[in-house]
């Protein structure tokens, strides 16, 4: 059995990156809770994860020559960032519902910490394996 150090962390590496991105998005939503015409956004986690697990976004271009320019892998350009559908739109065109965002933010923070715990566990087990201790 061989251990490849490249995918020790498995899904958790991609998950952590997505959770961090989601923290950023939800933070922006809460920051713009009073901005007229701001539209709340969120990540469609399932499709984002699927995309991350497939390795590369389907839109990525192949580079076969040193002069080639690859397709966009900019996370901001990815299509799993979606606008939120508000339950009760407000008159000023803002679609942030503070309570919904707060709940999503809290949940995301916990999920982020869970991912961190998984990563930490993986790291510890690798270190144990290297040391050869029980």
Partner 1 sequence: MGMFNVFNVSGSAMNAQSIRLNTIASNLANADSVSGSPDQVYKAKTPEFETMLQQESSNSVGVKVKQILESNANPVIRHEPNNPLADAQGNVYTPNINSVEEMANMMSASRSYQNNVEVFNTSKQLLMRTINLGR
The 25-54 contact track toward partner 1, x by CB under 8 A, reads xxxx-xxxxxxx-x----------------
Q: What is the dihedral of CA 25, 30, 36, 42, to 10 degrees?
A: 30
Q: Kindly state whether residue 23 participates in binding partner 1, applying the rule CB under 8 A.
A: yes
Q: Kindly state whether residue 24 participates in binding partner 1, applying the rule CB under 8 A.
A: yes
If the CB atoms of residues 69 and 76 are measured against partner 1, the closer one turns out to be 76
Query: Is residue 30 classed exposed, middle or buried when 0-12, 13-18 and 19+ CB atoms within 10 A define those classes?
Result: middle
CB of 120 to partner 1, least distance (A): 6
CB of 112 to partner 1, least distance (A): 5
Contact predicate 40/97, CB 8 Å? yes
Contact predicate 63/119, CB 8 Å? no
Q: Which of 47, 48, 42 is nearest to 18 (CA)?
A: 48
Q: Kindly state whether residue 20 participates in binding partner 1, applying the rule CB under 8 A.
A: yes
If the CB atoms of residues 34 and 63 are measured against partner 1, the closer one turns out to be 34
DSSP state of 83: E
Residues that bind partner 1 (CB under 8 A): 16, 20-21, 23-28, 30-36, 38, 74-76, 81, 98, 102, 105-106, 109, 112-113, 116, 119-120, 123-124
């Amino acid at each position: 059995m061989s251990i490849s150090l490249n995918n020790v962390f498995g899904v958790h590496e991609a998950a952590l990156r997505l959770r961090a991105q989601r923290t950023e998005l939800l933070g922006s939503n809460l920051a713009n809770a009073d901005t007229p015409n701001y539209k709340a956004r969120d990540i469609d986690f399932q499709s984002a994860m699927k995309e991350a697990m497939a390795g590369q976004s389907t839109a990525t271009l192949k580079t076969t020559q040193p002069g080639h320019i690859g397709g966009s892998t900019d996370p901001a350009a990815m299509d799993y960032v979606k606008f939120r559908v508000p339950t009760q739109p407000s008159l000023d065109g803002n679609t942030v519902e503070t309570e919904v965002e707060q709940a999503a933010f809290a949940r995301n923070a916990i999920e982020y910490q869970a991912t961190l715990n998984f990563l930490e566990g993986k790291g510890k087990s690798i270190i144990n394996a290297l040391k050869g201790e029980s």
